[in-house]
Every structure is written in structure tokens, then in C-alpha cells.
Amino acid sequence: MEPLHDDAVRHFASDNYAGAHPEVIAALTAANGGHTVSYGEDPYTARLHEQFVELLGEGVEVFPVFNGTGANVTALQSMLTRWGAVITPAPAHINTDEGGAPEKVGGFKLIPVATPDARLTPDRIEAVAGSRGVHQAVPQVVSITQSTELGTLYSVDEIAAIADRAHALGLALHVDGARIANAAAALGVPLRALTRDAGVDVLSFGGTKNGAIGAEAIVVLNPDAVTGIDFLRKSAMQLASKMRFVSAQLVALLTDDLWLRSASHANAMAARLRAGIESGLADGTIRDVAFTQPTEVNGVFATLPPGAADRVRARGFRFYDWDESTGEVRWLTSFDTTEADVDAFVAAVADATAG
């Protein structure tokens, strides 16, 4: 089959726009020969479990799934009773970008908490976790995103403080790790330090935004925090019959630290993009651009002057308007973003804001 798109084009809308990493494609090809047992009883899923044990220690349980929404909904379902609720930042993906799946499919209530940087704090959690009667859903889980939807990070100590407060209040802690690789790369700490050792009970481990085609995993760090996850994965339509192909993608990412290498590169390209804009602002070749969030991982959030975003798009680049009322945009880099891609994009911003 001939390509139906121009594979020389790079965009800055989402790391979901990127293709699959060549090592992931190679892993799928290697996994494709012959027959093996279905529904997870295959050697690739077994190897994936071994890899997570190597990263996180004995006793973890791993459940590969198709996508991030499925990982989050299934994980949270397994952590809740039918009357339970989840405390989460208002900008969280589960609250804003999962089509109501937590409520529709998961059947549980979300309690969104306003926060300027998409990060919860122990005090914000305690403020909404008080005793509730039969007229309100009962908070049972805290869910945070690492890195957040605004490209911000929780430090290891901040996660530990959240876990400590949540556990003291009788709540479990879930982490939406769609971009956990970018967070680990930016913080320079092992995945275990960032999750299990910090008190996280369940992790949704992301692969799709980091070079996989469609592969995530629910990683149970505290088996006492979940119930019936095997059955819930099936009823949530997240149990792959040919699971070897889901697992093989994640095996490839975890082999020789490809997940970290790819995320580190994406982070570096975002840093280059921000530095290029800052340099243009300093020498006057870029005007009226302001950053709205720190650039800690692979996302750059900024405001552009009126009309500038469309002028950049006219140069062939796609990206999201984050807040049209303020002119805020989001630029994301990927594992395959090159320095030349970034420099061309910065030049487009310069042309669009020159006046």
C-alpha cells in the first residue's frame, strides 16, 4: 500500500499525531509469526509482567489495555464501590476529555477540584473529602495525572504527600500516566520512586503517546486497592483476544529504556521550542507571545496575538487552540520531532507575529 499522507510533515498538535517507533513496529513483526495462546496467556504478556517487576518490584500486577480512557476507567472502577467517587483536578483528562466514559461506562462520580496548574495538593483533597451522607457520592479515590494536562509535574515528594494524606483519609491513589515517561525523564528518577515508593496504588501506564500504536497498561502496585479488575477489563471491552500484539508494543518500549529515551527526546524538543521563542522575543523577531505554564515536559503553552495562530497554520503546521478567549495555544513535541522541525516552527511563529 502506498502512503496516503505526506510522511515528511510534522505537526505540534499532539504526540498522538506521531507514528509508531520503528522498534515498536519491529516488535510487532517479531510477534506476528505462528500461533500462540490468546487473551494474555502468551509469552509477550508474560515478558511484560517480568519487565514491570524489574522496574517496580515483586507483587505488581499488569493488565494491558487498548487505550488511555480504557485504562483509567477500568482501573478506577476496580478501586471503587458502586457509591464511590473520585477526587481529581478539574483539567484532568478523565474529567474533560474522555467523553463522559467515567460516568457512562464506569458508573462513578467525579469530584473536580479547581486548580490553576492542574495539580492537586493534600489540602485541596482534604477540603472535599469530608464525611458525606447518603445524599452524596462518597470520595474513595484520588486521581492525579503525571505529567499533567498543562505540562506541569508533581515532584516525588509532592506525590508522596498526596498519597499520605489520601491514605490517612481512607482514600486510594490512582495516577493517570499517559505521559508518565515524560515525567520520569524530566525528573530523572526511577519509575518506582515516582510511583510505588511514593505510595501510588494503581498506575495507568501510557504507551500510545510515546511511540506505541495503541497500547497502555493498568499496573496495580497495591493489590489490596482493587477488586475484580480481570472481570472489569472484559466488561469494559479492554481485553484483547490477540493480546500478544498489545503487550509486544509495551515490551519494545521497556526494552533498553526506549520509553525513557523517546520521552527524553520529546522533552528536549519542547525545551528547544521554548528557547527558540524566548530568543525571538529577546531580539524582537517574535512579538507579543507569552508563556502560560512552565515547560517541564513535552508541552509548551503560550498565548499568541490575534490572528497569529491561523497564520502559523497557513504554513502547514497543526496545533490546538487551548483557550480561544485568551489566544492560548498548546504545542506538543514527539519522539520523532527533529531539531529542524522545531526551528521551522519557530520561524513560522516569527513570521506570524512580525506585525
| Mean pLDDT value across the chain | 97
Q: Is residue 13 part of a domain?
A: no
256, 274, 291 - which closes a domain:
256
What is the distance between the alpha carbons of residues 91 and 120, in angstroms, rounded to a whole number?
11
Contact 200, 191 (CB under 8 A): no
Give me the pLDDT at residue 130, please.
82
CATH number at residue 144: 3.40.640.10
Contacts for 288-296 with beta carbons within 8 Å, 24 or more apart? Answer: 288/353, 289/349, 289/353, 292/328, 293/117, 293/150, 293/151, 293/152, 294/151, 294/152, 295/151, 295/270, 295/271, 296/147, 296/151, 296/152, 296/153, 296/186
Give the angle 186-219-233 at the CA atoms, nearest 5°.
135
Whether residues 131 and 251 fall in one domain: yes
Whether residues 271 and 326 fall in one domain: yes
Q: How many CB atoms lie within 10 A of CB 242?
A: 13
Whether residues 128 and 154 fall in one domain: yes
Beta bridge partners of 112: 88
Give me the pLDDT at residue 160, please.
98
Give me the pLDDT at residue 343, please.
98
| C-alpha cell recorded at residue 8 | 515528511
Note if the bond before 334 is cis, omega within 30 degrees. Answer: no
Q: Which domain holds residue 303?
A: 259-352
In the chain, which residues have pLDDT < 70? 355
Whether residues 293 and 175 fall in one domain: no
Give me the pLDDT at residue 346, please.
98
Whether residues 249 and 263 fall in one domain: no
204, 238, 256 - which closes a domain:
256
Give me the pLDDT at residue 355, please.
66
What is the distance between the alpha carbons of residues 157 and 147, in angstroms, rounded to a whole number?
15
Beta bridge partners of 64: 217
Q: How many CB atoms lie within 10 A of CB 124?
A: 18
Condensed to tens digits (0 to 9), the pLDDT of residues 139-151 reads 999 999 999 999 9
237, 256, 275 - which closes a domain:
256
